[in-house]
Structure 1
Amino acid sequence: MKRNRSKRRLKTTVTVNIACEGISEKAYIENLLKDYNLFTPNITVSNLEGKGMLPFISYFEKNEKLYKIFIFVIDLDRARQKEIEFRNLNKLIDKVEKNNIKNNLFISNPDFEVFVAASIGIDYKKLYTYDYQKGNGVYRFIKNNSGNYEKAIENLPKKFYYEKGELNKKGTKKVENLEVNHSNLVYFIDYIKILLEK
């Protein structure tokens, strides 16, 4: 997969907020966007300090008039463990889709570390044997272990709980994939590229 290094520009009226569950996701997304020359002045990346789905819903409701497009980067672990969290996840999905069909959620199951492990080509359960630590150093950790975004795409299954790869169509939910370790971050870059071209 070749990287297109040409700079893309959003219309100045289009503002995008990428709201991440934690500092690891925020650091990764910022560095990934920079690496692909996709981090425009219109994009803001936020850290919601992951405390369940209700804070995501609250954040969206408080800020929905401030940004044209919302993208959430979250884990599925809590939603898999608690019925209320699962209901709130689906409530969030429905809210963001209703607000703007271009909004999206990028969900890792059970957590973002599935994507990190796939990025360096190792089994998810072995990640912490590589001295992995959550936080600002996640992108450097991947690079230091000969990893990259393309490797994650190769190593992760194309099965998702929530799939929304197209800009102007609603996503689909597949409960049968809740037992599969996966991350729809595998099409994050493609989605951002399409978004920036519109």
Structure 2
Amino acid sequence: MYAGIGSHADAIDGPGRDAGSMIVAAIIAGEVGFWVFLLGGLAVRYLLRKPKASAVLLVCVPLVDLGLLAVTVLDLSRGTTATLAHGLAAAYIGFSVAFGHRMIRWTDQRFAHRFAGGPPPVKNPKYGRERVIFEWQDFRRAAVAWAISCGLLELAVLIIGAPARTAELSGWISRLTVITAIWGIWTVCTTLWPPKPKAPATD
């Protein structure tokens, strides 16, 4: 009898575990794809001097997020109970959209400097007003990431319409809200008490 119950539980939990593993694999593939298309596009631009081919590869960078979104939506539409991985996929997409352009610019500056004689990469400010502005720009991106991620999560919850299957997605909305709030508190603290350069040592 107990063996039968255990087998039944495994049969229920098994698809959820398999779905979670598939989504995790899709997230990893998406991250790998992001860097493959980005580095490949920049290599073609600066090493092979083929801007048109480079543009095609760079256009594929945001398509990686669309691919991950499609995999996640397809999996949930099959009746899968949402797992931690499904929520992580939504968070990944949100932060990738919000911070992706900055990552592309960061990488492009280094490629241009190393292989095309471009100016040295711009370093992030460490002190004073410039640091405060930088922190608020980062928080704005974090807020955009929160809005996109929570929007996707809430949309999935509404479309599925089964609280028992989407409890994990609702949990992710709470987690991302807390993380963004902490980020905002950090930004405010940096504004009130901006870092200052250390005074030169005196003998």
TM over 0.5: no
TM-score bin, normalised by smaller chain? under 0.3
Higher share in helix: 2
Q: TM-score, normalised by structure 2?
A: 0.27
Q: TM-score, normalised by structure 1?
A: 0.27
